[in-house]
Structure 1
Amino acid sequence: MKTLHRRALLGAGVAIALTGCASPQVQDYAQEAPKLDLRSFFNGSLSAKGMFTDRSGRVVKRFTVRMDARWDGDTGVLDEHFQYSDGSTQRRVWRLRALGQGRFSGTADDVVGDAGGESAGNALRWNYTLALPVDGRVWHVALDDWMFLIDAHTILNRSALSKFGLHLGDVILVITKD
């Protein structure tokens, strides 16, 4: 009887541990307000401030972004101009497509393949692979990119970067409508 009791407790503990490791899904935020309408928020001029932290949480680089966004029906363009704290600059032009039912796809020159996005409530989750230059080489890094609409003018964005399943760091970004 004692062995059966131990096995039941062990099984319950494993189930709880596995549940605790489950990552959030965008549908978890379906009832949250205000509702994020990607085409409405990312339309016109926007600006952002952010930072990249390594896996230990140390700030590696800070940056600002100027964005110009426009939509024509279900097709959008998000033109981003980055200015980094080390003086370097970067431009990324996203070509976006609304697929219906809260789903989106996107491409950019430094994105490997297509980015896939899903929106529900105040949240949007993107998953994609970024070709990231590091010390003269290009690494293909997976991004799990979450955006949360805080109010009509503000989105908080957190992106977790990983390679081979290992967490490399995070990008934290505040996006505001101008």
Structure 2
Amino acid sequence: MKKWLCALLGAIGLSGCAGTDVSRYAAETPRLTLESYFNGTLDAWGMFQDRSGEVIKRFHVVIDASWEGPVGTLDERFTYADGTTQRRVWTIRAEGDGRYTGTADDVVGMAEGQARGNALRWRYVLALPVDGKVYEVDFDDWMILIDERVMLNRSAMRKFGIHLGEVTLSFTKREAGQ
């Protein structure tokens, strides 16, 4: 009896770690496709909060995005509240059936994502410099398209399964001529 109970509790615990499946959002609208949303210029405003919830960094990002066939380029230019800047250039490939892969200079290996309905789950490992050292941190991003111009993003950051903090972003797609 004890073995059965331990196995059941273990399975429940593991399923809790798996989280929400992106297919849960398949019927939600508007439908998110990266080729459509990340095309043109976007602005994003965000913050990083540590595991206690304290806001550590605030930032603005200007993203210039374009696609050639199934390959997209997102040129992200960050400006932090302290005046420092950073640039990240993503190369994203649409793999079909709402699946995407991506690379960037500070991404370790390949990012992988799955879109369903109005949601995208995007996972990757980021080489994150902190106090002169570089740490490989797991990011689990959830992007939810609110309407044709606004998308919200919440990223959980973990190292060795330990929650380090969260990044929250609000994207706004610029209208033509802005």
TM-score (norm 1): 0.90
Instruction: Please state how far the C-alpha of 1:12 moved relative to its aligned partner.
Output: 7.9
Return the index of the structure with the highest Cα Rg.
1
What one-letter code is carried by the residue in structure 2 that aligns with 1:30?
Answer: A
Q: Does 1:61 align with 2:52?
A: no
Q: How far apart, in 1, do the equivalents of 2:120 and 2:159 lie?
A: 22
Q: Deviations over 1:7-64 (max 9, x none)?
A: 9999987776665554001111111111101100000000000000000111001000
Map 1:111-130; keep pairs closer than 5 Å.
111-130=107-126
Q: Does 1:141 align with 2:137?
A: yes
Instruction: Please state how far the C-alpha of 1:96 moved relative to its aligned partner.
Output: 0.7
What one-letter code is carried by the residue in structure 2 that aligns with 1:84?
Answer: Y
Q: Could you tell me which residue of structure 2 aligns to residue 91 of structure 1?
A: 87
Map 1:94-109; keep pairs closer than 5 Å.
94-109=90-105
Q: How far apart, in 1, do the equivalents of 2:37 and 2:149 lie?
A: 8
Q: How far apart, in 2, do the equivalents of 1:49 and 1:84 lie?
A: 10
What one-letter code is carried by the residue in structure 1 that aligns with 2:125?
Answer: T
Structure 2 spans left out of the alignment, 5+ residues = none
Task: Indicate the SS of the match to 2:93.
Answer: strand
Task: Indicate the SS of the match to 2:31.
Answer: coil
Q: Could you tell me which residue of structure 1 aligns to residue 30 of structure 2?
A: 34
Q: How far apart, in 2, do the equivalents of 1:93 and 1:49 lie?
A: 17
Q: How far apart, in 1, do the equivalents of 2:169 and 2:27 lie?
A: 23
TM-score (norm 2): 0.90
Same amino acid, percent of matched pairs:
60
Which segment is superposed worse, 75-84 or 29-38?
29-38
Are residues 8 and 61 of structure 1, via their aligned partners in 2, closer, same or farther at CA, if it must alter by over 3 Å?
A: same
Q: How many residues get paired? A: 174
Q: How far apart, in 1, do the equivalents of 2:93 and 2:77 lie?
A: 20
What one-letter code is carried by the residue in structure 2 that aligns with 1:29?
Answer: Y
What one-letter code is carried by the residue in structure 1 that aligns with 2:155?
Answer: S
Map 1:3-42; keep pairs closer than 5 Å.
20-42=16-38
Q: How far apart, in 2, do the equivalents of 1:31 and 1:159 lie?
A: 23
Structure 1 spans left out of the alignment, 5+ residues = 1-6
Q: Does 1:51 align with 2:47?
A: yes
Task: Indicate the SS of the match to 1:151.
Answer: coil
Are residues 75 and 60 of structure 1, via their aligned partners in 2, closer, same or farther at CA, if it must alter by over 3 Å?
A: same
Task: Indicate the SS of the match to 2:154.
Answer: strand
